[in-house]
């Protein structure tokens, strides 16, 4: 690959050349220009000039954008309405196209039991591993990966690193784009750094690494709309703990496969809970049962906010007390809407804005966009924004109504170090000031904050206080 004198509103590259036997990792913050670089590589970038653009033909790309396109295609082909059962969609075997070649790799990525599972039934992390496997099996000579470790458990990250290191030693060119310094793999021979919409450094690892420090320092958090105008914890009266969630012998599964069973979970106000476990163990399914987005919510012995599920309360009454962000919620935001409207929709728990909003509500939504440093995007179409920008806007959507219960499923996926720390620092303040109770799913050990008072290890069905 050779690129020279690229000029675009959001991207400038003076010169870049990669060669076979080199493995490249490009790092940049969410607003550094690295997303525009990905668009250049996969052919989506327009309105730019360049002296030289020599890209690898037929490159295999794993990106958040591509994963969303696959998901939407699966939804278009969903025949559940014409079947007696749920249409599983394209199975893993069909998706890979060459299962005889895939079996050893499926074992490496711990997906061998999913061969006949539909794409829509996989977790977000499993989907990402599956797309990578498909490109390897296809024989792509260049594989481009955007934040490949996001959504993967620790073991899967180790396995992926091992697999990519082996691939990098062949004639296949590996190009990784990441937003977190901690995700830079040791096996990459070359590093590129994006900053202020420009490729500022690119070259051998040992010569480039020293320049990373100056481009990745997080900024101090500013006053947030969540904490603003709220009394400090010292001036708040002590309130007795309120039951928020009670699940007895909880279970979930699909197609004869059990994800978890016998799970007992009690969460009272102030019991900030961290949920862990490997990809595919049912973490997101558990949250969907709690939020009412999985039909198993009625089969389980579940109480929410002191009321047994299915005794007359509507899902909308329950969601008024929840702020939710998840990969499934992100995927389902497919309708036309502006960034401002998406934040406002959090007040009504809808995908899309259908209710009339007040001047005060609009002002509050704009305050959240300002805190997220996304005010210029207020009137931009949500679907045309980059993945990280969309994720930040959905975080604002979850927080705007200041709910009793915050349910965050891999909320920081796609975010750079600055934005991840900014959100986690906000959750620290929320926990300290007793403003909400946090239910948090994450694979990243650097996101395990001291305010979590209990931990659910879902693969072993254990709850640790």
The band of 238, judged by pLDDT with boundaries at 50, 70 and 90, is low
What pLDDT score does 119 carry?
87
Share of the chain above pLDDT 70, in %: 91
Backbone φ/ψ region at 286: left (φ over 0), alpha (ψ -120 to 50), beta: alpha
Of the two residues 318 and 49, the one the predictor is more confident about is 49
Cβ neighbours, 10 Å, residue 47: 7
pLDDT, one tens digit per residue, over 276-291 is 998 888 999 999 999 9
User: What is the average per-residue pLDDT within 429-439?
Assistant: 94
The band of 357, judged by pLDDT with boundaries at 50, 70 and 90, is very high
What pLDDT score does 237 carry?
47
Q: What is the 3-state secondary structure (H, E, C) of 299-334?
A: HCEEEECCEECCCCCCHHHHHCCEEEECHHHHHCCC
**Which one of 129-143, 213-227, 371-385 scores highest in mean pLDDT?**
371-385
The band of 325, judged by pLDDT with boundaries at 50, 70 and 90, is very high
User: What is the average per-residue pLDDT within 184-204?
Assistant: 96
| Element housing 106 (H / E) | helix 99-108
- Using CA atoms, how far apart are residues 230 and 228, in angstroms rounded to an integer? 5
Any residues with CB less than 8 A from the CB of 205 and at least 6 apart, and which? Answer: 188, 189, 190, 191
Q: Which two tokens stand for residue 31?
A: 């607003």
What pLDDT score does 428 carry?
93
User: What is the average per-residue pLDDT within 57-63?
Assistant: 86
Query: Do the beta carbons of residue 96 and residue 137 sit within 8 Å?
Result: yes
pLDDT, one tens digit per residue, over 359-369 is 999 999 999 99
Lowest mean pLDDT among 6-15, 309-318, 399-408: 309-318
Instruction: Find where tokens 């609009």 sit.
Output: 362
Indicate whether 221 pLDDT > 60: no
Structural domains for the chain: 2-215 (3.40.50.300), 233-464 (3.40.50.300)
Mean model confidence pLDDT for the chain: 87
- Using CA atoms, how far apart are residues 271 and 404, in angstroms rounded to an integer? 12
User: What is the average per-residue pLDDT within 124-128?
Assistant: 82
| 428-433 contacts at long range (C-beta below 8 A, 24 or more positions apart) | 429/224, 429/226, 429/227, 430/226, 430/227, 430/406, 431/272, 432/233, 433/227, 433/230, 433/232, 433/233, 433/236
Lowest mean pLDDT among 218-232, 330-344, 404-418, 440-454: 218-232
Of the two residues 453 and 226, the one the predictor is more confident about is 453
What pLDDT score does 257 carry?
81
The DSSP code for 358 is -
Q: Residue count of the chain, please give it.
A: 465
Indicate whether 180 pLDDT > 80: yes
């Amino acid at each position: 690959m050779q690129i020279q004198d690229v000029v675009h509103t959001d991207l400038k590259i003076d010169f870049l050349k990669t060669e076979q036997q080199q493995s490249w990792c490009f790092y940049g913050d969410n607003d550094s220009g690295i997303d525009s670089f990905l668009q250049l590589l996969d052919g989506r970038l327009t309105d730019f000039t360049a002296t030289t653009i020599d890209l690898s033909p037929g490159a295999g790309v794993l990106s958040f954008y591509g994963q969303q396109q696959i998901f939407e295609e699966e939804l278009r082909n969903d025949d559940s309405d014409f079947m007696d059962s749920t249409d599983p969609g394209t199975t893993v075997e069909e998706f890979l196209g060459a299962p005889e070649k895939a079996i050893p790799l499926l074992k490496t990525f711990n997906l061998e039991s999913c061969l006949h599972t539909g794409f829509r039934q996989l977790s977000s992390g499993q989907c990402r591993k599956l797309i990578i496997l498909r490109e390897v099996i296809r024989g792509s000579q260049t594989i481009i990966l955007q934040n490949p470790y996001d959504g993967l458990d620790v073991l899967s990250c180790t396995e992926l690193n091992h697999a990519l290191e082996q691939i990098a030693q062949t004639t296949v060119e590996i190009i990784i784009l990441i937003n977190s310094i901690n995700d830079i793999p040791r096996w990459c021979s070359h590093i590129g750094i994006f900053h202020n919409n420009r490729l500022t450094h690119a070259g051998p690892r040992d010569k480039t690494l020293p320049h990373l420090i100056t481009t990745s320092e997080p900024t101090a958090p500013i006053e947030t709309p969540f904490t603003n105008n709220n009394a400090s914890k010292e001036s708040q009266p002590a309130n007795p703990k309120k039951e928020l969630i009670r699940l007895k012998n909880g279970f979930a599964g699909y197609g004869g496969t059990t994800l978890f069973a016998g799970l007992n979970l009690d969460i009272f106000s102030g019991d900030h809970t961290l949920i862990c476990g490997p990809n595919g163990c049912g973490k997101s399914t558990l949250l969907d049962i709690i939020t009412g987005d999985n039909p198993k919510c009625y089969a389980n012995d579940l109480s929410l906010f002191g009321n047994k599920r299915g005794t007359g309360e509507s899902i909308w009454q329950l969601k008024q007390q929840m702020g939710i962000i998840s990969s499934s919620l992100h995927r389902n935001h497919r309708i036309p809407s502006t960034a401002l409207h998406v934040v406002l929709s959090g007040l009504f728990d809808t995908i899309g804005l259908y209710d009339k909003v007040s001047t005060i509500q609009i002002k509050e939504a704009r305050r959240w966009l300002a805190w997220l440093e996304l005010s210029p995007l207020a009137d931009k179409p949500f679907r045309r924004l980059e993945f990280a920008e969309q994720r930040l806007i959905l975080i604002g959507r979850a927080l705007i109504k200041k709910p009793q219960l915050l349910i965050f499923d891999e909320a920081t996926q796609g975010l750079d170090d600055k934005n991840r720390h900014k959100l986690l620092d906000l959750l620290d303040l929320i926990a300290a000031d007793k403003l909400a109770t946090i239910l948090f799913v994450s694979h990243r050990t650097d996101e395990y904050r001291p305010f979590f008072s209990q931990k659910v290890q879902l693969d072993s069905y254990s709850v640790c206080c």
